[in-house]
Amino acid sequence: MADGIRDKVVVLGMGCSVFGERWEDDSSDLLLEAYQECIADAGIEKKDIQAAWIGNHIDEVNIGKGGCYLANTLHLPFIPVTRVENFCASGTEAFRGACYAVASGAYDIVMAAGVEKLKDVGYGGLPDSPIFGQLARLINPNATAPGMFAQLATAYASRFNLPMERIKEAITHISWKSHQNGAKNPRAHLRKEISESQIADSPFVAYPLGLFDCCGVSDGSAMAIITTPEIARKLKPDQELVKVKALQISVSSGEEQIFNRWDGSGFMTTRQAARLAYEEAGITNPREEISMLEVHDCFSITEMVTMEDLQISPPGQAPDDIINGFYDLDGQVPCQTDGGLKCFGHPIGASGLRMIYEVYNQMLKRWPEDRLVNNPRLGLTHNLGGVPSHNVCSICILGTI
Amino acid sequence: MIGICSYAGYIPRLRLNRMTIFSAMGWLNPAIIMNAAGDKAVANNDEDSITMAVSAGLKCLNCFDPADIGTVYFASTTAPFKERQNANILAGALASGEEIRTADFCGSVKSGTAALLAALEFVAAGNENNALACAADCRLGKVSSVQEMVFGDGAAAIMVGKDNVIAAYKGSYSISCDFVDHLRGANSKYDRQWEERWIRDLGYERIIPQAIEGICKKYNLALSDINKVIYPCYYGGARKKINRSLGLDPAQVQDELMMDAGDTGSAHPLLMLAKTLEDASPGDKLLLISYGNGCDALYFEVTEEITKYPNRNRVSDAIKNQAELTNYLQYLTWRDMLPIEVGMRGEEDNLTRWSMVWRNRKAILSFEGTRCQECGTQQYPPQRVCVNPDCGAMDRMEPVVLAGKGGKITSFTSDMLAASTNPPAIYGNVDFNGGGRCMMDFTDCTLDDLQVGKPVNFSFRIKYIDTKRDTTFYFWKAVPSEEVPDNG
């Protein structure tokens, strides 16, 4: 009987590039920036890496298909390298592949990398591409990510009979919080504190979302070295073990978009992945037990509904929790302590690993005092790829307990 | 008896007041003030002759089962395709099935009556019990031209058959001559015309009376016995002259809809006929005359059946359903008459994969989904495995056409980022009446018209235009409505 990933693997070391508009850098430069930090942190050499996974979403714009790009950039010596793609969960998918490889006993030390170079697209936002295939392109609206995620707000308002002003108030606080946290983070893309009125008054991108409800579109890379707890204790006897407690992926069955049960106000995938992840990690009361969150705030409204999908806020209560500061850096469950996708930025294939990087470093208390979470024991990272009606959700829980 | 069983007119919702054009372009051609009264009906940026013909055709079906249609004819001088049967796209959208005859009629704005005559004679020959003739036009005049002022966009559809005939077909008379008042070469976008005085004096004022006199003589009719004479002619003075010369009382002459729509080309005689029929009484004798390089004249007599015709399909309702297009440059942009910056997102390539379209033609053209025969769940796009988690049956589906079902909004947005020549792009999730849902574009509305739970109807529209390959692709969009559709 399978018993999941809990405590079978640990994060030995991590690296993360500065995220942003890296006009002077190729994907290879971003990967090398993350690699130098990661390999030094892990205290190993290139020859110790037995296999690697690379997460990347929009191969057309930069690195192409297959695993060669990572292997060629680092000149990895003919080891297995696998490129994985699962929308915005691609980085977490790379991490998941690496974790399972070690847990299976096939390898001792492996690499999980993620990279995305979005600022060669030539225009703002994500590139227009038939992500759901050619037939969907003939049927679905010529939609953008903000337009698809914005509909969470109209559906949520309808479900809980809330005025849109209350939702705007909550999501404005979400963006304000991310700017507060991002401003403290030297690697973040957007590092400016802004006022709630600046956010609320920003021009509409897709009703009811304004410009400041949308995350940064960034270049960046993040990376992890995974090994067994035994090897980690041997290689780094002084470092507390950051163990993988749960890894879950849930993919839309098509029910949301085709069947009439889903009401559009949240994510069926997140609810499923969260339930299984808590079970895998042995968590029974997530609101009390989870110390910190890094969630997929591609848009502020996504973060709002995700707080309920993850069972941190009760149904209909996320706006109140958010406005009351429950998820602020000094709140009960700090969320997006590094600025999140909103301000750290969102190089798609790297984002999942960037979140794990933040939880890992918070647990090892490596950040300056003003942005440290108080003694985090369990941290949850969460990605959503695709659109609310049709998506991939990944959840990773890390812990030192 | 053979004759008209159903009719419908379609006038697009947007109207461009002709003074808006004059205000923008009168400095260049002050003479267009002569034609500056009233509104010009303007197809939305996602409408063309085919989509307008579909809108008219669907309305014309009026409770009639599309599977029973014997033939579908499409008439237009602005058909989107020179080669690719335009009528097949129309027939597909009407879900008429594939074992039918179709044809395109073109070459003159007289093509609308040519299609109607062909439909009548097709039924008369005993080929099928009914036939549908649709006509639509979306003609362009150059900026500041008389044609730009006069032309309007619109469509009409006439169903003919043997049963439930509301207006019996009595006969026809035609004149065909190479009178080149207007022309548009095979590679031209804009109409070109000869001197207006000549068009008026030798064209309208001579050929139309000749056609009316010809049909009266052929069927031994006295004009005084005719209740309505229906003929297009946008020169007000010429209309008066024609009426006077024939001794027609103005009450006997159908209004030409110039103030409400403009000259809708191939569709115009049929649109005027539809307008006439909405108020016609049993026993009324009607003469329908088209005009374009000659004339077709058709003679109808209204029957008792018209009193039983459901809801009379009033063109007046289409005239009332309007919104003003206040910006002339927006019109020029939609007609691709200005070199606008579409943005790089708008330049992304859009290849149409025809082999895939063929496999999925019913889902795309006819908006056909599936219904599970095990659990009854309606679903779109067509599925082989039932999406109902409590069912999951495989290959137990039957087809279901969703176009007429209507639905309600479950979420929506208006998107300024999406590439569009009519921003913001408005779209959202729609639950079909009877089950199933689809993420759809909304059209003919603004954000203020939307709320969760509001009913929508479906309209066949342009999905995209691939300018690189001169291809228009069509799909269905949702239009918010006040009423819940009858057949939900």
From the list B344, B377, B412, which residue is nearest A154 (CB)?
A: B412
Arithmetic mean of pLDDT over chain A: 97
Based on the domain organization, do B314 and B362 belong to the same domain?
Answer: no
Q: What is the mean pLDDT of residues A57-66?
A: 90
Closest residue, chain A, to B448 (C-alpha): A207
| Radius of gyration of chain A measured on its C-alpha atoms | 20
Closest residue, chain B, to A256 (C-alpha): B437
Residue B348 covered by a domain: no
Distance separating alpha carbons of residues A377 and A363, to the nearest angstrom: 7
Find chain A residues with C-beta within 8 A of B415's C-beta: 143-144, 146-147, 150, 205-207
Q: Which CATH class is domain A143-202+243-399?
A: alpha beta
Q: What is the mean pLDDT of residues A266-287?
A: 98
Q: Which pLDDT value is given to residue B483?
A: 61
Find chain B residues with C-beta within 8 A of A142's C-beta: 418-420, 425, 441, 464
Three-state DSSP state, B154 = strand
From the list B417, B435, B453, which residue is nearest A146 (CB)?
A: B417
Q: Which pLDDT value is given to residue B110?
A: 97
Residue B101 confidence class, pLDDT cut points 50, 70, 90? very high
Residue B313, Cα to own-chain centre: how many angstroms? Answer: 14
Question: Cβ distance A115 to A63 under 8 Å?
Answer: yes
Based on the domain organization, do B290 and B362 belong to the same domain?
Answer: no
Partner-chain contact B411 A155, CB within 8 Å: yes
Arithmetic mean of pLDDT over chain B: 96
Q: What is the pLDDT of residues B405-447, one digit of tens each?
A: 999 999 999 999 999 999 999 999 999 999 999 999 999 999 9
Q: Which pLDDT value is given to residue A61?
A: 81
Partner-chain contact A128 B438, CB within 8 Å: no
- CATH (domain of B47): 3.40.47.10
Which regions of B184-293 does DSSP assign to beta strands (E)?
Answer: 192-193, 228-230, 285-289
Show the domain range for B453. 355-367+402-480
Based on the domain organization, do B408 and B323 belong to the same domain?
Answer: no
Q: What is the mean pLDDT of residues B286-308?
A: 97
Q: What is the mean pLDDT of residues B58-69?
A: 91
Q: What percent of chain B has pLDDT over 90?
A: 95
Q: Which pLDDT value is given to residue A129?
A: 83
Q: Which of A202, A213, A257, A262 to mutate to test the interface with B (most CBs of B within 10 A)?
A: A257
Q: Which residues contact B94 (CB under 8 A, 6 or more apart)?
A: B54, B57, B58, B61, B66, B69, B72, B132, B366
Q: Which pLDDT value is given to residue B486?
A: 45
Using a CB–CB cutoff of 8 Å, tell me whether B416 touches chain A.
yes
Q: How far is A216 from chain B (nearest CA, A)?
A: 15
Q: What is the pLDDT of residues B327-358, one digit of tens each?
A: 999 999 999 999 999 888 888 888 999 999 99
CATH topology of domain A10-122+219-235: Peroxisomal Thiolase; Chain A, domain 1 (3.40.47)
Q: Which pLDDT value is given to residue B344?
A: 87
Based on the domain organization, do B198 and B75 belong to the same domain?
Answer: yes
Q: Which pLDDT value is given to residue B488?
A: 35
Q: Which pLDDT value is given to residue A1?
A: 84
Residue B113 covered by a domain: yes
Based on the domain organization, do B454 and B309 belong to the same domain?
Answer: no
Residue B309 covered by a domain: yes
Based on the domain organization, do B272 and B359 belong to the same domain?
Answer: no
Residue B343 covered by a domain: no
Strand partners, B478: B442, B458
From the list A127, A148, A207, which residue is nearest B414 (CB)?
A: A207
Q: Which pLDDT value is given to residue A319?
A: 98
As annotated, the residues of chain A forming the CATH 3.40.47.10 domain(s) are: 10-122+219-235, 143-202+243-399
DSSP B42: E
Residue B485 clears pLDDT 60, i.e. is over it = no
Structure-token match 């080309």, residue found: B265
Based on the domain organization, do B300 and B432 belong to the same domain?
Answer: no
Q: What is the mean pLDDT of residues B153-161?
A: 98
Distance separating alpha carbons of residues A150 and B290, to the nearest angstrom: 51
Structure-token match 């890379």, residue found: A221
Q: What is the pLDDT of residues A311-361, one digit of tens each?
A: 999 999 999 999 999 999 999 999 999 999 999 999 999 999 999 999 999
From the list B356, B389, B447, which residue is nearest A255 (CB)?
A: B389
Strand partners, A225: A13, A111
Partner-chain contact A155 B417, CB within 8 Å: no
Residue B473 covered by a domain: yes
Partner-chain contact B436 A142, CB within 8 Å: no
Counted domains in chain B: 2
- CATH (domain of B466): 2.40.50
Residue A172 clears pLDDT 50, i.e. is over it = yes
Q: Is the dihedral of CA B468, B472, B476, B477 positive or negative?
A: positive
Q: What is the mean pLDDT of residues B449-477?
A: 96
From the list A125, A139, A151, which residue is nearest B413 (CB)?
A: A151
Closest residue, chain B, to A208 (C-alpha): B413
Based on the domain organization, do B320 and B448 belong to the same domain?
Answer: no
Distance separating alpha carbons of residues A317 and B127, to the nearest angstrom: 67
Q: What is the mean pLDDT of residues A145-153?
A: 97
Based on the domain organization, do B76 and B156 belong to the same domain?
Answer: yes
Based on the domain organization, do B325 and B360 belong to the same domain?
Answer: no
Distance separating alpha carbons of residues B262 and B271, to the nearest angstrom: 11
**Residue B6: C-alpha distances to residues B86, B111, B232, B395, B435 (Å):** 22, 19, 21, 38, 30
Distance separating alpha carbons of residues A114 and A69, to the nearest angstrom: 12
Based on the domain organization, do B299 and B432 belong to the same domain?
Answer: no
Residue B311 confidence class, pLDDT cut points 50, 70, 90? confident
Q: How far is A374 from chain B (nearest CA, A)?
A: 39
Q: How far is B416 from chain A (nearest CA, A)?
A: 5
DSSP A368-390: -GGG--SS-SEEEEEEEEEETTE
ipTM for the whole complex:
0.94
B residues 419..458 contacting A (CB < 8 A): 419-420, 424-425, 427-429, 431, 435-441, 447, 452-453
Distance separating alpha carbons of residues A327 and A312, to the nearest angstrom: 10
Q: What is the mean pLDDT of residues B191-211?
A: 96
Distance separating alpha carbons of residues B383 and B385, to the nearest angstrom: 6
Find chain A residues with C-beta within 8 A of B452's C-beta: 154-155, 157-158
- Look at A59-68, A214-223, B200-209 and tell me which has the smallest mean pLDDT: A59-68
Which regions of B164-243 does DSSP assign to beta strands (E)?
Answer: 167-176, 182-183, 192-193, 228-230
Residue B176 clears pLDDT 80, i.e. is over it = yes
Q: What is the mean pLDDT of residues B451-463?
A: 97
Q: What percent of chain A has pLDDT over 90?
A: 95
Residue B438 covered by a domain: yes
Residue B372 covered by a domain: no
Q: Which pLDDT value is given to residue A130?
A: 85
Closest residue, chain B, to A161 (C-alpha): B452
Q: Which of A119, A142, A302 to mutate to test the interface with B (most CBs of B within 10 A)?
A: A142
Using a CB–CB cutoff of 8 Å, tell me whether B382 touches chain A.
no
Q: Which of A61, A126, A128, A305 to mutate to test the interface with B (most CBs of B within 10 A)?
A: A128
Residue B160 covered by a domain: yes
Question: Cβ distance B321 to B457 under 8 Å?
Answer: no
Distance separating alpha carbons of residues A340 and A178, to the nearest angstrom: 6
Distance separating alpha carbons of residues A139 and B439, to the nearest angstrom: 8
Q: What is the pLDDT of residues A190-229, one digit of tens each?
A: 999 999 999 999 999 999 999 999 998 999 999 999 999 9
Based on the domain organization, do B316 and B412 belong to the same domain?
Answer: no
Q: How far is B187 from chain A (nearest CA, A)?
A: 29
Q: Which pLDDT value is given to residue B425?
A: 97
Find chain B residues with C-beta within 8 A of A264's C-beta: 410-411, 429
Q: Which pLDDT value is given to residue B450?
A: 95
